Amino acid sequence: MNKTVELVKLWGDYEEKNPGCNLDDFFRHQLMAKAADEKKATPDWQLRPGINGKLMILIRRIGKYHMVYSNKALEGTGLDQIEEFGILVTIFNQVNPIKSEAIYNNIIELSSGTNMLNRLKKRELITEYEDIDDKRIKRLKLTALGEETLGKAKVRVLEVARMMTSALSEEDKQLCFQLLNPVSEKFDGTFQKFKSKSFDEIFEAMIK
């Protein structure tokens, strides 16, 4: 069968079963169908996660690889870990934020983030000063050395990102971003908001 004819037939069958669908829905369905066909049989006694668990494991493994190789790439740049790079980027992009903004924007515990800021300050990469309107508030600013360090680190971090995504086409990258970005958006701002909540309370609030 001609590939164009086959594609039109597949679309027709899908549209008939899913009125109101669009092409994005159709192509996602095709990808899922292909993944289902590639499932490997596993022994019944093994502990195997469902699709939700598999997705989280995949994201976590990719995240761990990214952290390991990012930290290695940052050697010699003046930064010790990728979280420090994230802090400097936040201070630069948000134009002198307060401490808590820089910390929570990077999803770091307040105590750990404060220690990190102190280390960056000791290495003269950042400085802090009193807010003009509220003397109780301390704002953060990159030093000249901090901006230079950020520039060097950026090159290495972009190389890591390029390496980590090299197995994907540009279209695949756009699709991955389109599919996963809503998950990130749903949880944005919840790290600080739910800090004092139990998991059951967080689950109840987020699963609605």
Mean pLDDT of 176-192: 92
Cα–Cα distance measured from residue 27 to residue 11, given in angstroms and rounded to the nearest whole number: 9
Q: How far apart are CA 101 and CA 104, in angstroms?
A: 5
pLDDT score, position 2: 73
Residues 6+ apart with CB under 8 A from 96: 139, 140, 141
* Paired residues of 127 in beta bridges: 141
CA-to-CA dists, residue 166 to 44, 143, 156, 170, 191, angstroms? 35, 34, 15, 9, 31
Instruction: Give the mean pLDDT of 35-50.
Output: 68
**What is the per-residue pLDDT for 103?**
93
13, two tokens: 């069958």
**CB neighbours (10 Å) of residue 77?**
19
pLDDT digits (tens, 9 = 90+) for 131-177: 888 888 889 999 999 999 999 999 999 999 999 999 999 999 999 99
- pLDDT tens profile 97-137: 999 999 999 999 999 999 999 999 999 999 999 888 888 88
Structure-model confidence comparison of residues 113 and 13, the more confident one: 113
Higher pLDDT, 149 or 28: 149
Chain segment 65-94, per-residue pLDDT in tens: 999 999 999 999 999 999 999 999 999 999
What is the C-alpha separation between 91 and 84, in angstroms, rounded?
Answer: 11
Q: Round to whole Å and give the CA distance between 143 and 150.
A: 10
- Which has the higher per-residue pLDDT, 24 or 62? 62
pTM for the structure as a whole: 0.76
